[in-house]
Amino acid sequence: MRMNFWTQENMLEFWGYVRMLLETAGPGVMLAAAVAAVGFLIPIIINAFKKANTDDEQDYEYREY
Pairwise pLDDT comparison (6 vs 58), residue with the higher score: 6
Spell 17-41 as b/e; 16+ CB within 10 A means b: eeeeeeeeeeeeeeeeeeeeeeeee
Model confidence pLDDT, tens digit, residues 27-44:
888 899 999 999 999 999
To the nearest 10°, report the CA torsion of 37, 38, 42, 48.
50
pTM of the model: 0.51
The structural domains of the chain, with segments of one domain joined by +, span: 11-52
What pLDDT is recorded for position 53?
Answer: 67
